Amino acid sequence: MNLQELVGKIAADKNSKKLGKIIKIEKIQDQKTKIWKEKILVLVHNILRKDVVILVDSEKLLIAEATYALFDLEKEDFEQEVRETRALMRLYKD
């Protein structure tokens, strides 16, 4: 499957809990191995908070359905990543 077809679909964990919306697919170089990998950018939108974009490895994709893309993730782990990203955004707000 072409990863560009995922843009616009809703990202969900392996238990079908909504994570966010897929907005873009990018090739990003890994810091340690210097290998280019495709990453999926997931937009997390919460009311009364800033939107956050989280990177997800394309290798974690399990199934892509009509409107959903299921990833090999847990909702709790993903939410922890969102909290850490928001903390970094507050830290580097300037």
Distance CA 35, CA 20 (A): 27
* Radius of gyration over every alpha carbon of the chain, rounded to an integer in angstroms: 14
65-79 confidence digits (pLDDT tens): 889 999 999 999 999
Residue type, 36: W
17-73 confidence digits (pLDDT tens): 999 999 999 999 888 888 999 999 999 998 888 899 999 999 999 999 889 999 999
The reported pLDDT for the residue numbered 1 is 66
| CATH entry, 3-91, from 3.30.720.210, 2.30.30.240, 3.40.50.460, 2.40.160.60 | 2.30.30.240
Q: With beta carbons less than 8 A apart as the criterion, state whether 22 and 40 touch.
A: yes
> How close are the terminal C-alpha atoms of the chain, in Å?
40
The reported pLDDT for the residue numbered 60 is 92
pTM of the model: 0.86
Domain ranges of the chain: 3-91
Distance CA 82, CA 33 (A): 25
